[in-house]
Amino acid sequence: MSLVAWSDTALSRRLGLRVPIVQAPMAGGPSTPRLAAAVTEAGGLGSVAGAPLAPGALRDAIREVRSLTDGPFAVNLFAPLPPPTWDRTDEWAEVTGAVVPDAPRLARFEDQLEVVVEQRVPVFSWTFGLPPLDGVDAFTIGTATTVEEALALEAGGAQAVVAQGYEAGGHRATFLGEVSQSLVGTLALVPQVVDAVSVPVLASGGIMDGRGIVAARALGAQGVQLGTAFLNTDEAGTSPQHRAALVQHTTVTRVLTGRAARAVRTSMVDRLEASGVEPPDYPLPRAYQAEPPMLAGQGGPMARSCPAGRLVGILAAEADAAVAGLV
Residues that bind ligand FMN (CB under 6 A): 24-28, 30, 49, 51, 76, 127, 143, 164, 167-170, 204-207, 225-229, 295-297, 299
Contacts of 77 (CB under 8 A, 6+ apart): 50, 51, 109, 112, 113, 116, 124, 126, 131
**Dihedral over Cα of 306, 308, 310, 313: its sign:** positive
- Of 225, 247, 250, the C-alpha closest to 302 is 247
Query: Taking a C-beta distance cutoff of 8 angstroms, is the pair 152, 176 a contact?
Result: yes
Closest distance between ligand FMN and the C-beta of residue 253, in Å?
14
Q: Is 196 helix (H, G, I), strand (E, B) or coil?
A: helix
- Of 240, 262, 297, 231, the C-alpha closest to 30 is 231
Asked if omega into 283 is within 30° of 0 (cis), the reply is: yes
Q: Is 85 helix (H, G, I), strand (E, B) or coil?
A: coil
Residue 212: its H or E element: helix 210-218
Closest distance between ligand FMN and the C-beta of residue 91, in Å?
26
Distance CA 270, CA 41 (A): 41
Residue number, 6 or 230, with CB nearest to ligand FMN: 230
Closest distance between ligand FMN and the C-beta of residue 81, in Å?
13
Residue number, 48 or 322, with CB nearest to ligand FMN: 48
Residue number, 51 or 272, with CB nearest to ligand FMN: 51
Residue 89: its H or E element: helix 89-96
Residue number, 143 or 174, with CB nearest to ligand FMN: 143
Residue number, 27 or 322, with CB nearest to ligand FMN: 27
Residue number, 75 or 277, with CB nearest to ligand FMN: 75
Cα-based distances in Å from 193 to 118, 145, 199, 271: 32, 9, 10, 37
Closest distance between ligand FMN and the C-beta of residue 21, in Å?
11
Closest distance between ligand FMN and the C-beta of residue 203, in Å?
9
Closest distance between ligand FMN and the C-beta of residue 121, in Å?
15
Closest distance between ligand FMN and the C-beta of residue 324, in Å?
24
Pairing of strands 21-23, 73-78: unpaired
Residue number, 93 or 226, with CB nearest to ligand FMN: 226
Closest distance between ligand FMN and the C-beta of residue 263, in Å?
8
Query: Taking a C-beta distance cutoff of 8 angstroms, is the pair 179, 223 a contact?
Result: no
Nearest residue to ligand FMN, by Cβ distance, number only: 227
Residue number, 48 or 93, with CB nearest to ligand FMN: 48
Distance CA 261, CA 226 (A): 16
